[in-house]
Structure 1
Amino acid sequence: HDHNGAKVRPKVIEKLREGGAIALVSDAGTPLVSDPGFKLVHDLRQQQLPVHMSPGVSAPVMALALCSFPSDRFQFCGFLPPKSAARQMVLAQTAEYSGVSLFFESPKRIEKCLEDADRVCPDVQITIARELTKRFEEVISGNAQELLQEIRQRGGLKGEITLAFWPGAARQVDVDDERVTLALAEAVQSMSPAKAALEVAKIFGLQKRQLYDRAVALKKAAK
């Protein structure tokens, strides 16, 4: 653990150099988030000692699969900041990210978190996935205000919580919007029409097929 890791890690390395085999089991799940195990893995890699992994449960990946948001682009950001001002800044950034943003959050702070989300990104879609793989596993979705109402009616939430934020619906614009054409025109300068259509579609919450023909035309016009 954090308090004895500096003393224990050299002993682990010594045993491995003597030919031993040691199993590292993380009670924080996969990956080693808020778990001192990553420091041991770092030291072992620095010493060029082999490290192998047996895949375990990953709450962020499970939440991504269960939230029903597009999963082709996502970022995992660990725990949200405990202070409101810093948390609002991070949440505002998620509204600008075109994919899904995944966070851990404490049940003690979930209402404050949703209050902040309602202030800075009220239209972003949010999924709360809690107690994953356990008896009381639950997944609920909505915007910040809808989820706040649900949680307050229950008198709060318990258990380990993973949050998924997706601004896609809030960011979606009309396919003929001038901003879409400008973004496509810029993208085809360095990408194929197919790649440009895909990337711009992700940004504006559209479908690639809606933009492909226009991307081809813009590519030809740019030659």
Structure 2
Amino acid sequence: MHSILDNTPDTSGTLFVVATPLGNLEDMTFRAVRILKEAALIAAEDTRHSRKLLSHYNITTPVISCHEHNEARVAEKLILLLQQKKNIALITDAGTPCISDPGYRLVSAVLPHDIPVVPIPGCCAVAAGLSVAGLPTDRFLFAGFLPRKVSHQEQAIQALADQPATLVFYESPKRIRPLAERLMAILGDRQACLAREITKLHETFIRGPLSSIIARLDPHIPPKGECTLFVTGAKAPEKLSYRDLESLIQDRVAVSQQSTADLAKEISQQFHVSKKQVYDTILKFKP
């Protein structure tokens, strides 16, 4: 068995960022269990919540609370312990810390002190859900939790409209249906997958167009459990040959009342071609 200090400097302790199960306790890795047992201290998002996991694996390491409201303050104490060559394990309620979970402030505070920060990989709702969503996986964009204010949320969705990667959103059960409705209104009725309660007893995957997912969500009774929504990215824009582009521009010039600059901007954005190329071509056909 390797020691917790293998391959880490002995000038300070190490901060281990430890992934924990999303729900099913059997998803804990052997390495994660060992790290939690050997650490001097465990920094947990919710100490009461984590007790179930720690008790299941007979982990008796002392635990300290480290969540979004006290993270900056607790970081100072943890840095002092790390500088005293104490190893600390960071865990959150479920999944991988720092991924829409507490941990970023602690990690960013630790790094300037040349203290090693080591990931202990494991569960992550993004990877777990994407692997079975049935959507393209060659590239994806993790959007996490969008702003709650409707206008800000709509702006965020609009900014993703042309993104070709599969989109991944986290959302609470109460707001998942309105989110799906706004996504469909702005992005169109794209193929999607709603993952709920991943790895838990009532694990559910709803696959199909956004419209069919919305139809299966009761507007009055929200589903139970955290939700991850995967949505197909934008299709690649249709490519026009130069001859087809010229023909299209000629037709637009004949009927458009827009200025040359505005028309060039509109066509270049619509067909993803050079604005200068479109502008120069418009001038050829303008009387």
Give a deviation string over 1:24-52, Cα, whole Å, max 9, x none: 11224224134332111111111110111
Q: Is the 8 A contact 1:30 1:58 kept in 2?
A: yes
Residue matched to 1:101:
167
Residue matched to 1:49:
115
- Corresponding residue to 2:85 among 7, 10, 19: 19
Q: From the superposition, tell whether residues 85 and 129 of structure 1 become closer, same or farther in structure 2 (CA, over 3 Å).
A: same
Q: Is the 8 A contact 1:84 1:116 kept in 2?
A: no
What is the DSSP-based 3-state SS (H/G/I as helix, E as strand, rest coil) of the residue aligned with 1:152?
Answer: coil
Residue matched to 1:190:
none
Residue matched to 1:79:
145
- Between Structure 1 and Structure 2, how many residues are aligned? 179
Q: TM-score if structure 1 supplies the norm length?
A: 0.71
Alpha-carbon distance between aligned partners in 2 of 1:79 and 1:142, rounded to the nearest angstrom: 22
Alpha-carbon distance between aligned partners in 2 of 1:125 and 1:72, rounded to the nearest angstrom: 16
What is the DSSP-based 3-state SS (H/G/I as helix, E as strand, rest coil) of the residue aligned with 1:27?
Answer: coil
2:227 equivalent to 1:161: yes
Structure 2, unpaired ranges of 5+: 1-66, 245-287
User: How far does residue 172 in structure 1 lie from its aligned partner after superposition?
Assistant: 6.2
What is the DSSP-based 3-state SS (H/G/I as helix, E as strand, rest coil) of the residue aligned with 2:91?
Answer: coil
| Identical amino acids, percent of aligned pairs | 35
- Corresponding residue to 2:240 among 151, 157, 178: 178
Alpha-carbon distance between aligned partners in 2 of 1:100 and 1:154, rounded to the nearest angstrom: 29
Residue matched to 1:206:
none
2:106 equivalent to 1:40: yes
Alpha-carbon distance between aligned partners in 1 of 2:225 and 2:231, rounded to the nearest angstrom: 19
Amino acid at match of 2:135: F
User: How far does residue 154 in structure 1 lie from its aligned partner after superposition?
Assistant: 9.0
User: How far does residue 55 in structure 1 lie from its aligned partner after superposition?
Assistant: 0.7
- Corresponding residue to 2:126 among 60, 64, 68: 60
Residue matched to 2:19:
none
Q: What's the RMSD between the two structures over aligned residues?
A: 2.6
Alpha-carbon distance between aligned partners in 2 of 1:180 and 1:100, rounded to the nearest angstrom: 30
Q: Is the 8 A contact 1:126 1:142 kept in 2?
A: yes
Bigger share in helix: 1
Q: Is the 8 A contact 1:127 1:163 kept in 2?
A: yes
Give a deviation string over 1:182-223, Cα, whole Å, max 9, x none: 9xxxxxxxxxxxxxxxxxxxxxxxxxxxxxxxxxxxxxxxxx
- Once structures 1 and 2 are overlaid, which stretch shifts more, 145-154 or 32-41? 145-154
Alpha-carbon distance between aligned partners in 2 of 1:2 and 1:125, rounded to the nearest angstrom: 34
Structure 1, unpaired ranges of 5+: 183-223
Greater Rg over alpha carbons, structure:
2
Alpha-carbon distance between aligned partners in 1 of 2:110 and 2:211, rounded to the nearest angstrom: 46
